[in-house]
């Protein structure tokens, strides 16, 4: 099987990638995809690369790796309040492993269907296992969520629970023993993060800024503070922790994972006080749990962490590649 057969078999045929999709004049198979962007929308473009044994265990379930590759990219679209449209896939594979490819493409394209985003092209090369996805979404110019629009005196919320994916990574490294139910929960949270795509689009009119939590709350919140020139105070005792996290770690480690651990792909959102009730009501109607974890301030720069009112230092602030 050569490269072209591979693309046809796993990414194009079998009804996995519909030949006709909304806004697609030409998809996989030509030199370029030809797309119809909507009028009066900004194109939101983002790319994330997943390297084996850095971003996922090389021996992991290929279907879950495929899911994760697209889910983490969709999370960036969510963080901008964008509606997913199209994506491209650059695959570097050490060998032509048909079983691996079949599962990987099934996992990837299952998520694509769920979020109504269409694979329109890519690139396939030989080398150490690495997966790059580039997503294209669309957003109304006024509703695009950015990191540089937060102000002092706003409320800081996060969605879902934090620290679960970081707990999975601790388990990969054999640094923690957990009961089986917790272990399965952490793995699910790591491999199948739920990008808050619909929720972010619905909440966008009520937010001034948002970011998805990929590197850890404190680090990612720091990006908003820096870009918006505001300070933030986070009450670590208010961070939303899952029951398995509380069960598996002592309090200090659980809070540390929730504040510093990445990979949860939940949203961190800035809400003006005047929009608080509407924000909470809308989130509830969407079935998305949200927690008020802090506020922004003009009195200092950067992120301050408090635990039961006392200033606290954290062990690490975000994953650094270099």
Do residues 250 and 163 make contact, with C-beta atoms less than 8 angstroms apart? no
Shorter beta-carbon distance to ligand ADP: residue 34 or 298? 34
Binding mask 152-191 for ligand ADP (x = CB under 6 A): ----------------------------------------
Q: Do the beta carbons of residue 136 and residue 50 sit within 8 Å?
A: no
What percentage of the chain's residues is helix, strand, coil (to nearest 5)? 40, 25, 35
Paired strand residues for 235? 306
| Residue 85, CA distances (Å) to 139, 198, 223, 271 in order | 10, 13, 26, 27
Q: What is the Cα–Cα distance from 252 to 242, expressed in whole angstroms?
A: 14
Q: Which residues pair with 139 in a beta bridge?
A: 42
Q: Report, in Å, the least distance between residue 128 CB and Mg ion.
A: 24
Binding mask of the shown chain, residues 60 to 89, with x at each position contacting ligand ADP by CB under 6 A: -----------------------------x
Of 31 and 313, which has the nearer Cβ to Mg ion? Answer: 31
**Which residue in 29, 37, 153, 302 binds ligand ADP (CB under 6 A)?**
29
The token duo for 99 is 């079983």
The entry of ligand ADP, Mg ion, none that residue 109 binds, CB within 5 to 8 Å by partner kind: none
How many residues lie near ligand ADP (CB under 6 A)? 13
Query: What are the CA-CA distances from residue 169 to residues 53, 185, 261 (Å)?
Result: 11, 12, 9
CB of 29 to ligand ADP, least distance (A): 5
Residue 7 engages ligand ADP in binding (rule: CB under 6 A) = yes
Pick one of Mg ion, ligand ADP, none as the site partner of residue 133 (Cβ within 5 to 8 A by kind). Answer: none
Among 25, 123, 179, 281, binds ligand ADP (CB under 6 A): 123
Q: How far is the CB of 30 from Mg ion (least distance, A)?
A: 8
Q: What is the spatial distance between Cα 31 and Cα 288, in angstroms, rounded to a whole number?
A: 41
Q: Which of 11, 104, 185, 186 binds ligand ADP (CB under 6 A)?
A: 11
* Of 31, 23, 212, the residue nearest 121 (C-alpha): 31
Q: Which residue in the block uniquely carries the two structure tokens 């889910």?
A: 71
Q: Does the protein bind ligand ADP through residue 21 (CB under 6 A)?
A: no
Instruction: Give 321's contacts (C-beta < 8 A, 6+ positions apart).
Output: 54
Give residue number: closest CB to Mg ion. Answer: 31
Binding residues vs Mg ion (CB under 5 A)? 31
Cβ neighbours of 153 (radius 10 Å): 11
In the bound complex, what is the minimum distance in angstroms from residue 124's beta carbon to ligand ADP? 4
Which stretches of the chain bind ligand ADP, using CB under 6 A? 7, 11, 28-31, 89, 91, 119, 121-124
């Amino acid at each position: 099987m050569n490269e072209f057969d591979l693309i046809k078999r796993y990414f194009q045929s079998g009804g996995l990638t519909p030949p006709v999709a909304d806004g697609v004049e030409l998809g996989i198979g030509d030199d370029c995809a030809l797309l119809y962007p909507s009028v009066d929308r900004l194109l939101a473009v983002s790319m994330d690369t997943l390297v084996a044994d850095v971003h996922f265990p090389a021996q992991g379930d290929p279907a879950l790796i495929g899911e994760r590759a697209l889910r983490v990219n969709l999370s960036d679209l969510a963080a901008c309040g964008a509606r997913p449209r199209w994506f491209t896939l650059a695959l570097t594979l050490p060998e032509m492993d048909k079983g691996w490819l079949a599962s990987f493409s099934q996992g990837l394209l299952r998520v694509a269907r769920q979020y109504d985003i269409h694979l329109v092209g890519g690139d396939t090369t030989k080398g150490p296992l690495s997966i790059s996805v580039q997503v294209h979404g669309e957003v109304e110019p006024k509703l695009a969520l950015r990191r540089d629009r937060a102000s002092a005196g706003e409320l800081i919320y996060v969605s879902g629970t934090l620290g679960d994916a970081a707990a999975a990574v601790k388990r990969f490294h054999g640094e923690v023993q957990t009961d089986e139910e917790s272990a399965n929960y952490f793995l699910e949270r790591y491999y199948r993060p739920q990008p808050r795509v619909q929720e972010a689009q619905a909440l966008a009119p009520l937010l001034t800024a948002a970011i998805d939590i990929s590197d850890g709350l404190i680090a990612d919140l720091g990006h908003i503070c820096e870009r918006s020139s505001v300070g933030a105070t986070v009450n670590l005792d208010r961070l939303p922790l899952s029951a398995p996290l509380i069960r598996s770690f002592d309090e200090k480690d659980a809070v540390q994972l929730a504040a510093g651990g990445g990979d949860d792909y939940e949203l961190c959102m800035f809400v003006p006080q005047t929009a608080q009730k509407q924000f909470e009501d809308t989130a509830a109607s969407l079935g998305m749990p949200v927690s008020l974890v802090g506020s922004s301030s003009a009195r200092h720069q950067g992120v301050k962490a408090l635990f039961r009112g006392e200033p606290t230092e954290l062990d690490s602030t975000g994953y650094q590649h270099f």
